[in-house]
Chains A and B, each alone.
Chain A
Amino acid sequence: MSEEKTYEEKLAEFEARIQRGEKIEPGDWMPDEYRRQLIRMISQHAHSEVVGMLPEGAWIPHAPTLRRKMILIAKVQDEGGHGQYLYHAAESLGVDREELIAALLAGKAKYSNIFNYPTLTWADIGMIGWLVDGAAIKNQTMLAHSSYGPYSRAMVRICAEETFHYKQGKEMITIYAKGTPEQRQMAQDALDRWWWPALMMFGPPDSQSIHTKTLMRWKVKIKTNDQLRQEFINEIVPEFLALGLKIPDPDLHYDEETGNWVIGPIDWDEFWRVIRGNGPMNRDRLEARRRAHEEGAWVREALEAYAQRQRQASMN
């Protein structure tokens, strides 16, 4: 029997594998901190998908055409599917879905702050598809290169579907920006309300991000929050301007030297306030999830009882 390796040796091997670009798989040795960070990120991501069903689901009943209604239902359904897929990825790290959901319902787990903002008009559905899913794709495309195999593969699949949502959202806003005066106003109002929260989706600035350094060393993330945010701004600003929409930032300007669109200061106080639970919809979102969970309790009990009955029947 070979001699037991020390923690330092195992860590060195682990980091060498990551340096070589290998994926880490569920049964492989990994530092506790790596496991902890991944559980944190993947479960937050899964919760975001599930909570994210609510603000968009709220407009399914009001969708203005049958085709739009079907597309929106399909989109929210995809989010449920992503949640399911991500909970599986988290389970590969030794936690279970029930435990993660319990933490969410107890208000102990985080999910994307963006879903604590309200959807107030139909144009919000288009703006979420374009702006919010656009920001999410930026982040998820990066995570598709993440060192943890199951997460990386989940991201590849999720990005493919998100790209549809993004295209549909962009199509809607493009139509509304060129539509009737009321539609145009709806589109502008949606941009006014979603612009800053969408930029905050990339997380706190690098100077304040407590996790970034470790996550980058282990290639869980390969770009910083600020890098991704800037790339996103550079891509999307010209597209909004081309439609004649105004970006709600008086300081926004193009910097010839760097080729960047430079934004004014982000209100990080608002970001932290919403994270702490004091955004416009935090309480309502959690309450909706709790209600679905509580009202579904008898259904889950019946499922369990029925399954047990089937097992007994098959044994006899």
Chain B
Amino acid sequence: MNEQLQQALMDRLVAMADDEVILGHRDSEWTGHAPILEEDIAIANIAQDELGHALIWYELAEPYTGNDADSMAFFRDARQFRNVQMVELPNGDWAFTMLRQYLFDAYEMALLTRLMTSQYAPLAEAAEKIRREEIYHFRHSSIWVERLGLGTEESHARMQRALDHLWPYALQLFRPMPLDAHLVEAGFFPDPDQLQTAWQDVVLPHLKNADLTPPDAEPIYAHRHHHTEHLVDLLADMQLVARSIPKAVW
């Protein structure tokens, strides 16, 4: 593997891990506060899975980053994270959280399905394992989109508002990273444009069935090293104990 390909692979692995760790953290904030007990349980489960996936991606990246998963999650600042902005936004209401989860799950399903045939074997193996869990997340968030989209006038209005807010952010998922071309050429990673098409083919009809319409808005096309203020707050929460005694074993 040449140096640029290694760098590109590391960037992507860290980006995938960062998406998962930040989304997992946000999901876990619902534990104990969900609208029904069954959903406290479900979202806690999803949060654990996402954090578990982050662990897998960080570990795959470790030979290149030289840092273990906990150093990556707890000892980098906002400027060093490579997650998309969508996952760092505060949870909002249940509609916002479920819709974000849906848009992300659909992206992950499309991505993992393609990564299963990646020419980089560790990526293919991990993708297969992760996809088995993601199928359940995707089913769970898909049904919530339908329930809330078609539920009451209020739930529909909340979902549409969430979609108006989230849609431009969701499109950031498909912005290529600077070295992606090397990955695509090596058959390590799918072409982001194709990924977007595959995602839209799933998401658009499902939203339509749920009576929801994506806004005609310009995508948030920031690079993955650009963040909102919310990530700073999130990291302050997340890194509080780890950084209080940096050399400690927990």
Contact = CB atoms under 8 A, between A and B. Distances in A.
B97 to A, nearest CB: 11
Nearest to A308: B151
B29 A60 contact: yes
B155 interface: yes
Chain B facing A: main interface SS: helix
A298 interface: yes
Contacts of A302: 147-148, 151-152, 154-155
Contact of A179 (B31, B40, B151, B249): B249
Nearest to A77: B44
B238 A301 contact: no
B51 A69 contact: yes
A73 B31 contact: yes
A276 B52 CA distance: 42
Interface in B49-78: 51-52, 54-55, 69-70, 73-74
B55 A182 contact: no
Nearest to B94: A299
Interface size class of A (residues with CB under 8 A): 35 or more
A110 B38 CA distance: 22
Contacts of A84: 37-38, 41
A288 to B, nearest CB: 7
A38 interface: no
B130 to A, nearest CB: 15
B45 interface: yes
A306 B144 CA distance: 10
B25 A61 contact: yes
Nearest to A84: B37
Interface string B17-38: 0000100010011011111111
Q: Main SS of the interface on chain A?
A: helix
A170 B29 CA distance: 25
Contacts, number: 136
A303 B152 CA distance: 9
A63 B54 CA distance: 15
Contacts of A50: 37
A134 interface: no
Contacts of A80: 31-32, 37, 40-41, 44
A301 B151 contact: yes
A122 B248 CA distance: 13
A180 B155 contact: no
A121 to B, nearest CB: 8
A291 B93 CA distance: 12
A306 B241 contact: no
A183 interface: yes
19 contacts: A61-B237, A62-B237, A63-B241, A65-B74, A66-B73, A73-B31, A77-B40, A77-B44, A77-B45, A179-B248, A180-B247, A180-B248, A183-B248, A296-B94, A297-B35, A302-B148, A303-B36, A305-B151, A305-B152
Interface of A: 50, 53-54, 57, 60-70, 73-74, 76-77, 80-81, 83-84, 87, 122, 172, 175, 179-180, 182-183, 288, 291-292, 295-303, 305-306, 309
Interface of B: 21, 25, 28-29, 31-38, 40-41, 44-45, 47-48, 51-52, 54-55, 69-70, 73-74, 93-94, 146-148, 150-152, 154-155, 158, 237-238, 240-242, 244-245, 247-250
Given A61-B28, A66-B69, A288-B32, 17 more contacts: A53-B32, A61-B238, A63-B241, A65-B74, A65-B242, A68-B250, A70-B48, A73-B47, A77-B40, A80-B32, A80-B37, A83-B37, A288-B33, A298-B158, A299-B155, A305-B151, A306-B151
